[in-house]
Amino acid sequence: MNLKFKDGLKSMVSQSIFRYSKILVFLIVLMAGIFYILVWDNAPIVVNDSSSYMKVATDFQDLKLDKLPARTPGYPFLLWLTNSHEHPTRLLFFIQLALHLSSVLLLAYLLNYMAVSKKIIALFLLLSLIPPSVVMTAYVLSETLTQFFLVIGVVFLLLGIDKSKRSLIVISSIALSFSALVRPTYQLIFVVIFGLLLVSFFLAKKARRQLALATVSTFVFSTIFIGGLILNNYRNFDYFGLTPFFGLGLCCKTARFLEKLPDEYAEVRETLIKNRDRARVTYRTATPRRPWHNSSHNGLYYIWLTQPELRKIKNFNSRAELSTYLLKLNRTLIKQSPLLYLKEVIIALPTYWFPSTTNVSNFNSWKIKFVWVTIHFGVILLFFFIVSILLGCGLFLFNLPAESRDKFRSQIADNADLLLFSFLIPISIIVYTMLLSIAVDVGNPRHRVTTDLFIFFTIALGIHFLINLRKNLNKS
């Protein structure tokens, strides 16, 4: 009797969960949002990089930029809208939290659309809603807004192609363009997406019209928005680029071999080496330290202390002039010592994959931090394992005859093209972000945060793929 009652109750609960799964997912996400609103009552938090965004937002007050902004206008515009240009408001945190939760819901919807099991979607939700995955919403930083536009771009692109909906494809192209206006790292992401779509157009047998529209739309809207901002900066401020930070930022990749500069840079070389060595034994504590910034005293960020002296030596009137000059200088250094530059890139690679937890997500507890760190490295290892399996399957398929390849693809999934795109596009964005970060910066884990949801999505979809592959191969 008791056994039958338990079986009946279990069956009823499982049927209810299946029937009301979408409502349940929404309630879980909503409860997570309420939880973070209650526990992070001091958010949003200002850190070192926040001030540069807030300065640009202040310049937005008259709806006109009077000087070349240090940051792209996307995130400062959000600060202006939430009246956070002087003191961050609670509304900013609410919006950033809502953007993150919306991104989670969109990717969960895509997983459900692709018939991924409820248990795997639950795993995705767990990884996406734990504090380390949400913590960037509590800071006055651009990561959350960038992530939102990337997720909109990917999800709407995949759904637009699969459902043959032009409006979704257009929204996707606009969102991907906006991600570059928030974070200039993504100003070339349209090239990656454009290339993938173009190749797919020539190889695909289905949805060629949708692929053609997506290819053209991606190129056109990126040209309009990204090219428009670059043209505006050139016309109004005589600077051809999105922000004047590129030349300055690249200095962290050449800091260890400044001695290789030719004699024509003798005076500048002496100034740079002096300030780099000084930065190695000092640490700025006048402003709040970023929680994820370590005091390793390696002098890689020396250029931020060197700017005033360097501008005086070269008689530069603006940061744009200095950045252009430093870009030329760094290119000279890299040409002189390409292997030393490559060494710096390789050194940055492991650091990029480190956890991005902060005291906010750790709740000032080393035990909780240990849990988050353990989960993080487990997730990263699982991600690399799944990507390796996918790469192996791809190479195996590529070497099969055309007939065998089509038969095998039909065994993998009902909609193999959608599955392929759902792996290829997010993984391409993950790899693109990583390469940019380690090529022009020190591999800061914070730069990876914008793609963490894609990592969780790839893991969930990868588990689904492997389970289905095993089942279908056993049947055959």
DSSP H or E run through 212: helix 208-237
295 found inside a domain: no
Report the distance separating Cα 134 and Cα 136, nearest Å: 6
Q: Is the pLDDT of residue 287 over 50?
A: no
Report the distance separating Cα 169 and Cα 49, nearest Å: 34
Of the listed ranges 28-42, 57-71, 130-144, the least confidently predicted one is: 57-71
Question: 5 or 252, which is more confident?
Answer: 252
Report the distance separating Cα 412 and Cα 107, nearest Å: 21
Report the distance separating Cα 206 and Cα 202, nearest Å: 10
Report the distance separating Cα 280 and Cα 300, nearest Å: 8
For residue 210, what are the domain limits?
A: 2-240+360-475
Q: Is the peptide bond before 401 cis (omega within 30 degrees of 0)?
A: no
In the chain, % of residues over pLDDT 90:
40
73 found inside a domain: yes
129 found inside a domain: yes
The confidence band for 158, taking pLDDT boundaries of 50, 70 and 90, is very high
What is the model's pTM? 0.89
Q: For residue 382, how many other CB atoms are within 10 A of its CB?
A: 16
308 found inside a domain: no
In the chain, % of residues over pLDDT 70:
86
Q: Is the pLDDT of residue 134 over 90?
A: yes
The answer to whether 140 and 78 have CB atoms below 8 angstroms apart is no
Q: Which amino acid is at 302?
A: Y
Distances (CA, A) of 183 to 73, 93, 154, 191: 9, 19, 17, 16
Mean pLDDT of 101-110: 95
Question: 299 or 50, which is more confident?
Answer: 50
The confidence band for 402, taking pLDDT boundaries of 50, 70 and 90, is low
Report the distance separating Cα 296 and Cα 309, nearest Å: 24
Number of structural domains found in the chain: 1
Q: For residue 232, how many other CB atoms are within 10 A of its CB?
A: 12
The confidence band for 142, taking pLDDT boundaries of 50, 70 and 90, is very high
Q: Is the pLDDT of residue 193 over 50?
A: yes
Question: Which class for 417: exposed (0-12), middle (13-18), buried (19 or more C-beta within 10 A)?
Answer: middle
C-alpha dihedral, 30 to 35 to 38 to 41, nearest 10°: -100
Residue 66, C-beta contacts closer than 8 angstroms, at least 6 positions apart: 59
Question: 423 or 21, which is more confident?
Answer: 423
Per the listing, tokens 């060494």 go with 343
- What pLDDT does residue 294 have? 39
The confidence band for 292, taking pLDDT boundaries of 50, 70 and 90, is very low
Q: Is 45 helix (H, G, I), strand (E, B) or coil?
A: strand
- What pLDDT does residue 51 have? 85
Question: 15 or 299, which is more confident?
Answer: 299
264 found inside a domain: no
- What pLDDT does residue 52 have? 85
Q: Give the 3-state secondary structure of 82-128.
A: CCCCCCCCHHHHHHHHHHHHHHHHHHHHHHHHCCCCHHHHHHHHHHH
- What pLDDT does residue 288 have? 46
301 found inside a domain: no
Q: Is 139 helix (H, G, I), strand (E, B) or coil?
A: strand
Per-chain mean pLDDT for the chain: 85
Question: Which class for 343: exposed (0-12), middle (13-18), buried (19 or more C-beta within 10 A)?
Answer: middle
- What pLDDT does residue 11 have? 56
- What pLDDT does residue 238 have? 81
Please give the backbone phi and psi of residue 433, each rounded to the nearest 5 degrees, phi first.
Answer: -60, -45
68 found inside a domain: yes
Report the distance separating Cα 123 and Cα 227, nearest Å: 40
- What pLDDT does residue 289 have? 45
DSSP 261: S
Mean pLDDT of 338-361: 91
* pLDDT digit string, tens, across residues 199-214: 877 766 677 788 888 8
Mean pLDDT of 438-450: 89
Mean pLDDT of 43-65: 83
Report the distance separating Cα 227 and Cα 85, nearest Å: 26
- What pLDDT does residue 286 have? 45
